[in-house]
A and B are shown apart, each in its own frame.
Chain A
Amino acid sequence: MKNTQEKKPASRIRFNVVDAVLILLAILCIVGIWQRKNLQSLFDSGEALESYTVTFEISKMRSTTVNLLAKDTALYLEDNGTRVSLGTLAEQVSTSAATVYLQDGDGNTVKAVYPQDDHEYLLDVKGTLNCRGIEHDGIFLLEGKTYLAVNRTVAAHTETADFEIRITGIQKVTG
């Protein structure tokens, strides 16, 4: 009796589980590069960021610089060499003549305003930022990573100006 076992023809294309995994990985990588910004946010914070308003003050800012702080202007700060968004201005900042406490001729402490002249006019500025963050045990983390608190002074910047702001309030936006 002849061996009826048939030789299987040699297959021209071998496609196995390993090939399937590699192709799947390649597709995932391409999708990952395309959606990298969305994926980055997953790594940055394990929790969803919430909306907050942060109020601040700037002391003795030139009036010409104040003009650069319009509504919706984006502010940033540097945290360990990384640029972090401070949010955007909720409205045009409010201003008043810059003041300082000095002693008069009689030794009394008095509040004095800086004068306005042709070359400069120093102003005290107040503003409100719309930003995102999370709160852990009463500690507010801007963008889920940078510590911010009332009375903290941070070096902030827009695209065209550098200045220091002092935080005066942090409120969660409800609703």
Chain B
Amino acid sequence: MNREKSDAPKPEKEERRRSSAPSGDKGPKKESNRRWLFLVVDILLLAAIVAAVLFLVSLLTPFSLFDSDREEVRRVTYTVELAGVERDSLGALKVGDAVVDSETGATIGVVTAVNSRAYEVYTDVPVEDEDLNSYVVTKATYPEEFNTVTVTLSVDADYEAGVGYTVDDCRIAVGRTYELNFPGYAGSGVCVAFNAE
């Protein structure tokens, strides 16, 4: 019995024929898809590198793009006390004046109130007070020529949690000493009161 050759192509031969077909037969569309795939991989690689850099910067420096302690602007009113201001200079301190901190160059507020009183200093001479049953530090009052002036300032300051209030790198806080430049006067003063809205 002769075996007849089957005309139907064997499955393996079909496969071989398909795989050996030149690549150009796959078409420009599939070539384009491959290019897009490589582009996506490149973008992912770049994203990985950028993420690594951001991570290192965020970890090792104070700078952070995702910092939740963002600054917010708040209105603050504070009082600075200037000691020993000469009487002739009192007129140079006016409501409405813009005041500059000479150290930072920042405009740290607009004058909203000016008050003056006699200039007094504590002495080294104690006096016995019978009511208190104790010695009391005495004060010496300077002549009327010299005054203690309290200037109230108002400004929009940047607030940051943990830092407090700043105006262009000049921190506003009770207890700080400022070298103040008024339009017609320059002097040193200490912040003695503070209020934020």
Contacts and interface: CB of A to CB of B under 8 A. Distances in A.
A5 B193 CA distance: 91
Interface in B106-149: 117, 122, 124-126, 128, 132, 134-139, 148
Contact of B44 (A23, A114, A115): A23
Interface residues of B, number: 48
Interface in A13-69: 13, 19, 22-23, 25-26, 29-30, 32-33, 36, 39-40, 43, 62, 64-65, 68
A163 interface: yes
Nearest to A85: B162
Interface residues of A, number: 48
Interface class of chain B by DSSP: mixed
Given A9-B19, A43-B59, A29 B137 contact: no
Interface string B14-57: 01100110010000000000100100010011011001101100
A76 B173 CA distance: 13
Contacts of B16: 6
A25 B126 contact: no
Contacts, number: 122
Given A13-B37, A162-B174, A83 B45 contact: no
Interface string A107-142: 000111111010110000000000000000000000
B104 interface: no
B135 A110 contact: yes
A35 to B, nearest CB: 10
24 contacts: A6-B15, A7-B20, A12-B34, A23-B44, A26-B51, A29-B54, A33-B51, A36-B59, A62-B192, A64-B174, A65-B192, A85-B162, A102-B125, A102-B137, A104-B135, A110-B126, A114-B137, A115-B136, A115-B137, A115-B138, A159-B163, A159-B165, A159-B173, A161-B173
A36 to B, nearest CB: 5
Contact of A157 (B161, B164, B196): B164
B132 A159 contact: no
Interface string B142-173: 00000010000000000101111100000001
A111 B175 contact: no
Given A36-B55, A103-B124, A160 B47 contact: no
B176 interface: yes
B51 A65 contact: no
Contacts of A85: 162
Contacts of A113: 132, 134-137
A160 B173 contact: yes
Contact of B164 (A6, A12, A159): A159
A41 B138 CA distance: 52
